[in-house]
Structure 1
Amino acid sequence: MKIIISGSLGNIGKPLAKHLVNAGHDVTVISSTEDRKTAIENLGAKAAIGSVNDGVFLKEAFNGAEALFAMTPPNMGGKEIIKNTVEAGNAFAKAIQEADIKRVVMLSSIGADLPNGNGPIAGLHQIEKIYENLSTSVTFLRAGYFYINFYNDIPLIKGAGIMGANFPVSLQIPLVHPEDIALAAAEELQKPLEGKNIRYIISDVKTPSEIVKAFGEAIQKPELPWLEFTDEQYLGGMTQAGVPEEIAGLYTEMGAGLRSGKIGADFLTNNFSVDGKIKLEDFAKEFASRF
């Protein structure tokens, strides 16, 4: 089967490409940078170099494909992020229709059932709505909160001896490892499903209390605490660290949405399964190696 992967060779794209190439598929990986071409080809895949906002490029890249892993780039600029995200989704949708791709797996997120109050996830909500109108079969792969987001706390741990965000220590957070996302995406791309389907991919469900315990033990800081910041403190901390104001605002809103429970509610209240294999204790070892 000819399968297209968007998202280049990132934390998800690289293991996904490996899974699909090893399964014998004809895989093309889309990347915006020419310097990824050799690495893509070394995996046994083909490289398509261009912008995901370029409809002509996408149509050419999608030509003849039977399935697509659609991932909106995580960095959509420092301004008008939701608008840019949705524009990329529209470009994908148009190219999917023109190339007549029969199977699409879209990387989405917990909280994508919500139109607002979920920070950057609002863009994924809008793209889900766009894809619902496609004639092709679509799986909305709603991922949990990425474990690797906690790498951003390493400077805080080293500088202040704490971890924290604008949600409480007792909050139940659906978490996910990128490799579990890649495995789930590979499974979904190879399924002969029809219509529109939602699949949550979650590796573990843990509280910040459990997270700091696991990380603290792994980095030999067993007393590592979690501090709940106010929205103002969290926003100010990010902007002082150099995060663009719009991005910081969106992540503050996402934290508030987690704190209220509404971002995780659909997963946590509807008895969806925890399919991922990489648990918090496994990731804590990766965290320690990065630390």
Structure 2
Amino acid sequence: MKIVVTGSLGNISKPLTKILTANTHQVVVISSSTDRREDIEKTGATAAIGSIDDVLFLNATFQGADAVYLMIPPNFKEFNSLGYYKRIAENYRKAIQNSGVEQIVFLSSWGAHLDLGTGTILGSHHAEFILNELDAVHKTYIRPVSFYYNLLNYIEMIKNTGIIGSNFKRDDKIAWVHPEDIAQAVSEELMVRAEESTRIRYVASDEKTAAETAHILGQAIDRPDLDWVPFSDADVEKSLKERGLPEKFAQDLVAINASISSGRMGEDYEKNKPELGNIKLEQYAREFAKAFHQQ
């Protein structure tokens, strides 16, 4: 199969590319950086250097592909995150339609079933809606839960205050996922076309309460008393803005956490719960500890 991968050699796209090339597929990796060309070629893939804002480039790159993995990379220069998601999703829709690709796998998010109150995840909701216009295309929407590596954002707090916390309650259950488990799920969907024209697949690696998460991370960094401290939405937003985050981004992060805490984010996930992946929080905690001690 010829498979096009967006996302350059990011946290998901890199292990995905390695899986696909190891299975002898012809893989083309899109990157906006010429500096990535050599690293991409080392994986056994072909580099396509260009912008996902360029529909003509996407048209040409998608030509002859059996399947395409689509993701919308974070872009913190885009203040209007919802407009950015809609624009890139529309670019993908046009290029898929123009090139005749018959199968796509799109990296969405849990909470994409909701049409408000989910911060930046609302972009995934609208992206799925736009891609649904591709009637003749087999579509799989991968909906991962909270990424383990988001926990790295708490390193500064732990070092400065000796606690970890946000607008989660201690007993809130959080579903976590490792990028390698996502890559595995994406590869499976790309290599075998689903019978249904539109398929939704949730991906998770582990489920822990906020307090359990703090305890496991604490054990890994030799701080066994590390505890999860809940804060109000207002306090978290204030703290984020004091650290220099623009108000809109701070509000979006607070909305995401509040939606997880209330259970809204995970309501459809709970109805369609997947088999958990291989990389548990205890294993990821070793990665966290390495990053913690390097900072």
Q: Is TM > 0.5 for Structure 1 vs Structure 2?
A: yes
RMSD value over aligned CA atoms? Answer: 1.1
2 CA distance for matches of 1:31 and 1:117?
32
Residue 76 of structure 1, CA deviation: 5.0
Aligned runs of 1:1-291 on 2, under 5 Å?
1-134=1-134, 135-194=136-195, 195-268=197-270, 270-291=271-292
Describe the shift of the 1:51–1:176 C-alpha distance in structure 2 as closer, same or farther (beyond 3 A).
same
1 CA distance for matches of 2:3 and 2:246?
35
1 CA distance for matches of 2:4 and 2:290?
32
Describe the shift of the 1:78–1:157 C-alpha distance in structure 2 as closer, same or farther (beyond 3 A).
farther
Amino acid at match of 1:127: A
2 CA distance for matches of 1:181 and 1:39?
21
Residue 256 of structure 1, CA deviation: 1.2
2 CA distance for matches of 1:26 and 1:286?
31
User: Deviations 1:81-124 (Å, cap 9, x if unpaired)?
Assistant: 11111110010011011111111110011100001111111010
Say whether the 8 Å CA contact 2:115–2:125 is kept in structure 1: yes
1 CA distance for matches of 2:176 and 2:215?
16
Q: Does the residue aligned with 2:107 lie in a helix, a strand or coil? A: strand
Residue 77 of structure 1, CA deviation: 2.3
Amino acid at match of 1:16: L
1 CA distance for matches of 2:238 and 2:209?
24
1 CA distance for matches of 2:251 and 2:191?
38
2 CA distance for matches of 1:203 and 1:13?
18
1 CA distance for matches of 2:231 and 2:260?
13
* Between 32-41 and 270-279, the greater mean CA deviation after superposition: 270-279
Say whether the 8 Å CA contact 1:165–1:228 is kept in structure 2: yes
**What's the % identity of the aligned pairs?**
43
Give the structure-2-normalised TM-score: 0.96
Moved over 3 A (4+): none
Say whether the 8 Å CA contact 2:78–2:84 is kept in structure 1: no
Q: Does the residue aligned with 1:228 lie in a helix, a strand or coil? A: coil
Say whether the 8 Å CA contact 1:78–1:244 is kept in structure 2: no
Unaligned runs of 5+ in 2: none
User: Deviations 1:136-176 (Å, cap 9, x if unpaired)?
Assistant: 00110000100000001001111111111111111111110
Residue 212 of structure 1, CA deviation: 0.4
2 CA distance for matches of 1:277 and 1:40?
26
* Between 70-79 and 35-44, the greater mean CA deviation after superposition: 70-79
**Alignment coverage as a number of residue pairs:** 290
Residue 237 of structure 1, CA deviation: 1.2
